[in-house]
Structure 1
Amino acid sequence: MELLAKYFRCQGRINRRTWLTRIVALGLVCLAFGMLANEMLGDPGAAVFALAFTWGALAISTQRLHDIGRSGPSLLLLLIPVLGPLWVLLLLCRRGGEGKNRYGDDPLSRHDYLQVNIAK
């Protein structure tokens, strides 16, 4: 269940590579199951997976926006024709902020990397 929560929860921060990987994986899974549901149940079955993809893509993109210090409602810029989606894409592709911000720790920080506890 924790794996599904990573795809559908709007909390935390993720880096660019994780964002792209999750969007592609979610798209492929929803496409495959949506086509199967369309064959078995018709359009309502496919609509369930289209809705799941939309929710997941918005949640993952919100996590990505958190990494650059922006909030989820910034995705409302998608409603502006032509320039809105381009601006959101530029935001999503920006480099994340260094260190901790109000949305959590830096997903690329390596502050505990190769530390050895010699007290044991």
Structure 2
Amino acid sequence: MENNIKLDNATPPPLPGSTMANNHNAEENYGIIDWFKKSMKNYTNLSGRARRKEFWYFVLVQIGLTVLAMILDKAVFGSESEFFNACVAFGMLVPSITVCVRRLHDTGRSGWWLLLAAVPLIGFIMLLVFFAIETNSKTNQWGPPAK
């Protein structure tokens, strides 16, 4: 009898040190929130790599949180306050930077490329392209491929 471990969408990812041979099998079953949680758990890690899926799901959830904060601001305080929006923006600042740096690492670039954001329009477009391109499938100075 085979001892195959299959996870369904409701099963959380395995704990570190579990009997599962590699975590890539668990990541196949990650949902949007699981990818977001993975990014948040790694918010202090500037040396790893983040796959495209992790990065874009993080961005999607961040946009959702920002929209929700804007709705709450409007409902609770009226149009003159941005309290909840500011809380989300400040709370997501460091995790956003680190997931961007780890995504750049995954494409074989240094995190310093994030400074391109300071160049109006051109920098944003270049970073968008870098974030969207396929993962570098070779091991680089930031570790093995994320997928």
TM-score (norm 2): 0.60
Partner of 1:94: 133
Unaligned runs of 5+ in 1: 109-120
Partner of 1:82: 121
Partners of 2:43 and 2:98 within 8 A in 1: yes
- CA shift for structure 1 position 33: 4.0
Correspondence for 1:29 among 56, 65, 78: 65
What is the distance in 2 between the residues matched to 1:56 and 1:35?
Answer: 23
Partners of 2:39 and 2:54 within 8 A in 1: no
What is the distance in 2 between the residues matched to 1:61 and 1:77?
Answer: 12
What is the distance in 2 between the residues matched to 1:91 and 1:3?
Answer: 18
What is the distance in 2 between the residues matched to 1:66 and 1:3?
Answer: 14
Task: Tell me the number of residue pairs that the alignment of Structure 1 and Structure 2 aligns.
Answer: 108
What is the distance in 2 between the residues matched to 1:8 and 1:24?
Answer: 20
TM-score (norm 1): 0.71
Partners of 1:13 and 1:67 within 8 A in 2: yes
Unaligned runs of 5+ in 2: 1-36
Relative to its length, the structure with more helix (as a share) is: 1
Change in Cα spacing, 1:38 to 1:100, as seen in structure 2 (3 Å) is: farther
Q: Which amino acid aligns with 2:59?
A: I
* Structure 1 ranges of 4+ moved more than 6 A: none
What is the distance in 1 between the residues matched to 2:90 and 2:39?
Answer: 19
Partners of 2:39 and 2:99 within 8 A in 1: no
Partners of 1:62 and 1:72 within 8 A in 2: yes
Q: Compute the RMSD of aligned alpha carbons.
A: 2.6
By relative contact order (CA 8 Å, sep 6+), the higher-ranking structure is 1
